[in-house]
Amino acid sequence: MKIWMIGLAAVIGWTVAALPVQPGATEPTPAEPGAETDVIAPTDAVLIGGYRMRRLIEAPVHGPDDARIGTVYDVIVDPSGEAAYVVVALGDPAGLPEKRVPVAFGEINITADNRVQVPHGDAVLRERPAVHEPEGLDILVPPPAETAEERRRYLEQAERQVERWGQEVERLAEEAEATGEELASEAAEQLDEAWSAVRERWRRLRDASEDAWRDARESFDEAWSEFQQRWQETETEPGPETEPPQQQPAE
């Protein structure tokens, strides 16, 4: 088809060239030397300071000790087209299966020899939830790890709640003893168990390492929700705010 089109164009060009000039027709006047034309002036090349994404795919990834921990599996862009995450395919040390985890683009450092350096080692990254890749172009990235400041604020709120509600539990027990109107044995037992779970998981949350923080927080939130439900079942006077401490948005 391409050859045919080129041949047809040549025939048309030859036919037009062979036609006689009609009387009175004027030929275009050649441009005068030095006259302005529509030629676009060349421009100098500019380095925009970006990265070619295809060069990042399968680039080696190194941890803080410079040990190779995997390769770049994919680069995720946000709706505005900005690079948001790199998906790191971790290797398989000790026979562990490959795992693909997200690392924020702002956390990586790309060296001159196309190596990608991340501030976390293999053990830390393996604690992160893996990315989910459904059919189509979408990719689901789990929530990023909370920063040290976010964890500190959450712990402060949790500590205040535990202290306040500890006082409420003591007040309830003292009032029941003073009035002789004890709670139903089953309700009292369930409330006591729920509060004991809150205190135990609070201690676990307070002492959790960075790697264990997410699991410890989820466990504490579950215990807090159970305690809230048991408290409401006692039909006592409303106490302090029963909502678990809320995570403050990152600045």
- Where residue 235 falls (left for φ over 0; alpha for ψ -120 to 50; beta otherwise) is left
Domain ranges for the chain, please list them.
Answer: 53-126, 148-233
The residue type found at 192 is: D
- Report the pLDDT value the prediction gives residue 18, as an integer from 0 to 100: 42
List per-residue pLDDT tens for the chain, 251 residues long: 333 333 334 333 433 344 444 455 455 555 555 555 555 555 555 444 456 677 788 889 999 888 899 999 888 887 787 888 888 998 765 556 678 888 888 888 888 887 899 988 888 888 777 776 655 445 555 555 667 777 888 888 888 888 888 888 888 777 767 665 655 566 777 888 889 999 999 999 889 887 788 888 888 888 888 888 888 777 544 445 555 455 443 43
Q: Which residues fall within 8 angstroms of residue 123, CB to CB, at 6 or more apart? A: 211
Superfamily of domain 53-126: PRC-barrel domain (2.30.30.240)
- Report the pLDDT value the prediction gives residue 249, as an integer from 0 to 100: 36
- Smallest CA-to-CA distance from 125 within 70, 78, 75 is with 70
- Report the pLDDT value the prediction gives residue 42, as an integer from 0 to 100: 55
Question: What is the tens place of the pLDDT at every residue in 28-69?
Answer: 555 555 555 555 555 555 444 456 677 788 889 999 888 899
d(CA 139, CA 80) in angstroms, rounded, equals 16
Do residues 59 and 66 touch, judged by C-beta distance below 8 A? no
Q: Which residues fall within 8 angstroms of residue 109, CB to CB, at 6 or more apart? A: 116, 117, 118
- Report the pLDDT value the prediction gives residue 165, as an integer from 0 to 100: 87
